[in-house]
Amino acid sequence: MSPALKIAIAGLGTVGGGLLKLLRDNAEPIAARCGRRLAITAVSARDKGRDRGVDLAGMAWYADAAEMAARADCDVVVELIGGSDGVARRVVEGAIAGGRHVVTANKALLAHAGAALARAAEAKGVVLAYEAAVAGGIPVIKILREGLAANRVQRVYGILNGTCNYILTQMRRSGRPFGDVLADAQKLGYAEADPSFDVDGVDAAHKLAILAAVAFGTEADIEGVHVEGIRHVGALDIRFAGELGLRIKLLGIARMTEFGLEQRVHPCMVPLETPIAHVEDVFNAVVVEGDFVGRVVSEGRGAGAGPTASAVVADLMDIARGRAAMTFGVPAGSLARVPASPMDRHRGAYYIRLMVRDRPGVIADVTAALRDQQVSLESMLQRGRSPDEAVPVVLTTHHTDEAAMRRALQRIEALDTVLEPPRMIRIESL
Ligand SMILES: NC(=O)c1ccc[n+]([C@@H]2O[C@H](COP(=O)([O-])OP(=O)(O)OC[C@H]3O[C@@H](n4cnc5c(N)ncnc54)[C@H](OP(=O)(O)O)[C@@H]3O)[C@@H](O)[C@H]2O)c1
């Protein structure tokens, strides 16, 4: 057997702890598959006294993770601290500068600094691997960069945040509003005490920026992602979606358009017949559409100690076998900088929900605002009648420009019979 691959781990929390256990429990099959052992030589976290559930004897302890990355006796540094800057970035940069391979689960760092880090890694001849950063246990980076490498990707999209998918699933099953379901998810440990990164779509945007970089050979462009979270999705919208044969999912979607790279994260209504409509609870799914392969769908757990550690170890095993893929699938120097396609240029179908005063002429005013912007209606639903009271009216449109849709909505909101700002959810053709 070849000499062991020596690994230093920065961060021993959820993912780092899972990694310690996986490397201990599956040491034999991993060594058999790599032809060498994976040996942890050094670790770093904040609290030396905390029980990590695994014996750390024989591993050098570093109070300073950046110092470990620069000096420890290792071939690979695994960064599992998190954050787009600060210590995590120093760990990754220091490891690369010292000629060590890097494996990380840090989507925020890759989304913000992926291209610069890829160039640094390439210049030093080391691997920068990050399978765990996107969709946890689903090996989507490998699928895109290797299995589907022969294709031009036409579109990549997915359910990239398990917390949001769990909340939307529970809202649909229980009929309860967002706030109540979020509070339950927090009690169950499916949502953080501060849930904003998840429910406001930021986490999904990080993952989408990385996916788009690999799919289209571009520099990761987090600033170019249009982001909306799920806070404004109402229980009523979920019910109406069901009546329309649709289901609401928070999707991240990227595709190349004539105006540039379109990257968007927002709630979508998707047809019940599409596979992604049935990806429920905390599960993630990623769909790649390639010109020769067609549609490839992968589903699995997008977070948690086990699935994320599984992805980290797959990267370590590639390094142990001497298999090095280019960070974003093309030489770092040729990653393209592509303008972001503005959301106003988006074309699609829309679901609009209004709360209107039930009075003659209301619908005529609404449809006139749509007609004046050339927005063509596909259907209209009105439930319940109670003269002069607030009633919901739901409209769906044919494909139209987002800019025209927004202009029409501004006019509709200004009508005195429209009692709340209109709710708009995009209907996605998948
Ligand atoms: N959790 C998931 O399911 C998941 C899934 C995919 C990707 N990720 C990514 O994986 C990374 C780690 O996430 P996590 O959930 O495992 O985080 P976590 O549970 O909060 O663990 C963070 C670890 O980093 C250590 N740490 C913090 N500051 C440090 C410092 N200055 N020096 C040394 N160690 C420091 C902490 O030490 P102490 O333990 O001593 O406090 C802890 O062990 C993040 O980038 C996250 O986005 C997580």
Q: DSSP letter string over 73-140?
A: S-SEEEE-S--SSHHHHHHHHHHHHTT-EEEE--HHHHHHHHHHHHHHHHHHT--EE-GGGTTTTS-H
The predicted pLDDT at position 179 comes to 97
The predicted pLDDT at position 86 comes to 95
Ligand 1 centroid distance, CA of 20 (Å): 13
The predicted pLDDT at position 30 comes to 98
Q: Is the confidence at residue 376, as pLDDT, over 90?
A: yes
Q: Is the confidence at residue 387, as pLDDT, over 80?
A: no
User: Does residue 238's CB lie within 6 angstroms of at least one atom of ligand 1?
Assistant: no
Q: Is the confidence at residue 338, as pLDDT, over 80?
A: yes
User: Does residue 310's CB lie within 6 angstroms of at least one atom of ligand 1?
Assistant: no
Ligand 1 centroid distance, CA of 88 (Å): 9
The answer to whether 375 and 354 are in contact (CB under 8 A) is no
d(CA 101, CA 316): 9
User: Does residue 45's CB lie within 6 angstroms of at least one atom of ligand 1?
Assistant: yes
Q: Report residue 425 as tokens.
A: 């959810």
Q: Is the confidence at residue 197, as pLDDT, over 80?
A: yes
Ligand 1 centroid distance, CA of 76 (Å): 18
What average pLDDT does range 260-280 have in this prediction? Answer: 97
Active site residue 187: no
Q: Poorest-confidence range of 86-100, 110-124, 376-390?
A: 376-390
Q: Which residue's CA is the closest to the ligand 1 atom numbered 31?
A: 87
405 to each of 102, 269, 409, how far by Cα in Å?
Answer: 46, 16, 6
User: Does residue 135's CB lie within 6 angstroms of at least one atom of ligand 1?
Assistant: no
Q: Catalytic one among 21, 187, 207, 249?
A: 207
Q: Is the confidence at residue 383, as pLDDT, over 90?
A: no
Measured at the CA of 219, the angle between CA 213 and CA 221, to 5 degrees, comes to: 85
**Phi–psi pair at 419, nearest 5 degrees:** -95, -20
Ligand 1 centroid distance, CA of 376 (Å): 49
The predicted pLDDT at position 389 comes to 84
Q: Is the confidence at residue 208, as pLDDT, over 90?
A: yes
d(CA 81, CA 215): 26
What average pLDDT does range 155-179 have in this prediction? Answer: 98
Q: Which atom of ligand 1 is nearest to the CA of 47?
A: 40
Q: Which atom of ligand 1 is nearest to the CA of 305?
A: 3
The predicted pLDDT at position 58 comes to 94
pLDDT tens for each residue of 17-49: 999 999 999 999 999 999 999 999 999 999 999
What average pLDDT does range 372-389 have in this prediction? Answer: 88
User: Does residue 11's CB lie within 6 angstroms of at least one atom of ligand 1?
Assistant: yes
What average pLDDT does range 8-15 have in this prediction? Answer: 98
What average pLDDT does range 178-182 have in this prediction? Answer: 98
Q: Which residue's CA is the closest to the ligand 1 atom numbered 25?
A: 11
Q: Report residue 346 as tokens.
A: 């988006």
User: Does residue 65's CB lie within 6 angstroms of at least one atom of ligand 1?
Assistant: yes
Q: Is the confidence at residue 222, as pLDDT, over 90?
A: yes
Mean pLDDT of the chain: 96
> In the chain, what's the furthest Cα-to-Cα distance?
83
Q: What is the CA radius of gyration of the chain?
A: 24
pLDDT tens for each residue of 389-427: 889 999 999 999 999 999 999 999 999 999 999 999 999
Which helix or strand (DSSP H or E) is residue 425 part of?
Answer: strand 423-427
Ligand 1 centroid distance, CA of 364 (Å): 55
CA dihedral 404, 407, 412, 413 (to 10 degrees): 140
What average pLDDT does range 361-366 have in this prediction? Answer: 93
Q: Is the confidence at residue 384, as pLDDT, over 80?
A: no
31 to each of 36, 128, 242, 334, 396, how far by Cα in Å?
Answer: 5, 22, 50, 36, 56
The answer to whether 375 and 347 are in contact (CB under 8 A) is no
Q: Is the confidence at residue 305, as pLDDT, over 90?
A: yes
d(CA 253, CA 264): 5
